[in-house]
Amino acid sequence: MENNEKKCIFFSSDSLIDLAIENAAKARGFEFIKVTYNNKVENESSLIERQNNFAISLKERNLEDLINSRLIYAPNLKVGTQYLNSKSDASLSSLLNPIAMSLAYSSLCKKASDNRIIFIGNVRGYDFVKIDIDKESDIEDSILSKLAIHTHNTQLDGSLVSTTKFLALNLAELDIKVNAAMFGPIADIDNEEIIEAYRKKSIAGIPINFNDISDSLDIFIDPLNSYMTGQVLKFDGGVSIW
């Protein structure tokens, strides 16, 4: 493959932070390549089928023999009720898709080059009993129901944390670094009630914004940071300290 010295591949169906990820990649001089896939097919597929599906998507973009590439995967950043309506599908995909995607990517990478996998997760499903909420309000209309969605998202991200460490160990022999960045409530994405509830537990006192995301991802993309692998860094204004 020609001109592939600095590729940043963003593998997501429709991430809400793709602009910030693109900015972080371009700030380091990487060409940004967005790859999409069919979620419905993925949810009904086995691990091998998923891996083949990811591999086809990569090969269609002539990404064979990748050198010094960054693959970023944001599996469940959408805010909405779909995670409550299809928990089994979301849970299965949160575990199998990162593994399948990583296997497909690693099969295309050139050994001894600086290739990396970066997972994006949430620090938004904070246990709502730790946050001051009106417990007497209607559950269907209150912040509790919204927080339940985020709590479920965090359970999904628990599997992403384990997957990050598992893949870091297993892909080390291929010289592929695997790390994860997890973000707290995001301005202009999360519901204002959610942001206000977390604001009280945030040391920084403010939600993260797109520029913060871009700056945070910079450490994972930076060619000078070639030693870190198997790490999960949380960018949440200090909420996760409590």
pLDDT at 196 over 90: no
| Token pair 């960018």 in the structure block, residue | 235
Q: Are 77 and 25 in contact (CB under 8 A)?
A: no
Q: Are 66 and 4 in contact (CB under 8 A)?
A: yes
Distance CA 175, CA 163 (A): 17
Binned at pLDDT 50, 70 and 90, residue 172 comes out as: very high
Residues with Cβ < 8 Å from 127, sequence gap 6 or more? Answer: 151
For the segment 140-163, what is each residue's pLDDT rounded down to a tens digit? 445 555 555 555 555 666 778 888
Distance CA 116, CA 171 (A): 10
Distance CA 209, CA 143 (A): 21
What 55-58 contacts at long range (C-beta under 8 Å, 24+ apart), as own/partner pairs, is 55/104, 55/107, 55/108, 57/11, 58/9, 58/104, 58/105, 58/108
Distance CA 185, CA 10 (A): 21
pLDDT at 131 over 70: no
Secondary element (H or E) of residue 31: strand 31-35
Query: Of 6-10, 107-111, 134-138, which range is least confident?
Result: 134-138
Provide the mean pLDDT of the chain.
76
Among candidates 79, 55, 76, which has minimal Cα distance to 189?
79
- Measured over the CA atoms of residue 240, residue 149, residue 190 and residue 182, the dihedral's sign is positive
For the segment 99-128, what is each residue's pLDDT rounded down to a tens digit? 999 999 999 998 889 999 999 887 765 444
For the segment 57-98, what is each residue's pLDDT rounded down to a tens digit? 888 888 888 999 999 988 754 443 343 344 445 556 667 888
Secondary element (H or E) of residue 42: helix 39-43
Give the pLDDT mean for 202-214.
77
